[in-house]
Amino acid sequence: THSLLAVSTVEFTANDSSWGFPSLLALSQLHDPKRGYLVNDVCLLEAYVSTDTTKGLISHELMIKTDSDRQKTDEADSSTQSSEESVAFEPEDPTEEDMNTFFTSLESELSNSNIAFKILACFDCSSTALTIEQKNELLGMEQSLKELVSQAAKAMQDKNHLLAKESMKLTITRDLDRNLIRYKEIESEFAALLAERMGIFRTCQKMKKELEALGKELEECESKAKVAEEEEKSVEAEWGRIKGFISSVKGKM
């Protein structure tokens, strides 16, 4: 097997599916697992690859970027960073949709990292077909992926913690709603009891006034009864005197 190293600059476009080569294969397909080296007739390309996802993630789709594009991107990033530093703003609280989108994207990135791990596992960094720079780059990729997996695991743990908190929040909210409904029921019952209490109070006041009036009438009746009793005694005495007079008259006749 002969290895040739050539330096050239080629600009690739996203619209060109072949990019001027007969075929583009995954790194795992370039390795002969039985004999431990790269298969023959393979051209390795060293390219600048950019991803639109989390830093450190190796995209499973091939994205090639030229030196001129990288320089433009660096200038744009520098301009954007300066603009962001000059404007201070308070981040808004993420919505439920934002969090779901974040975790869905994170799960996708974790899946991509597993694919990248499988690709790196097919390579032997001690292979003479790789340059020292390529070996160091592969080792750096492996370390970056390990860190990414740790970050993804921590993020998934945070997601599960968030789901548990949301479940607890839902339970507390339901309990609070039930207690609020019961509070309103008790408040309504208490208002009814207060109204009944006020009705009883007013009835008692009315009965008390009637009782006081009856007491005064009773005193007057008792006074009249005493006068009538005295008059009755006087009438009886007069009647007794008349009866005695009649009896005496009859005796003389």
**What confidence category does residue 85 fall into, taking pLDDT thresholds of 50, 70 and 90?**
very low
Per-residue pLDDT, 86 = 41
CA-to-CA separations, 111 to 57, 81, 108, 119, 242, in angstroms, rounded: 10, 30, 5, 13, 136
Residue 134, pLDDT score: 72
Question: In the numeric block, which tokens belong to residue 92?
Answer: 């808004």
For Cα atoms 213, 215, 217, give the angle at the middle one, nearest 5 degrees. Answer: 70
Residue 65, pLDDT above cutoff 50: no
pTM, entire model: 0.33
Cα–Cα distance between 96 and 102 in angstroms, integer?
10
Instruction: Please state, as a whole number, how many other Cβ atoms lie within 10 Å of the Cβ of residue 142.
Output: 17
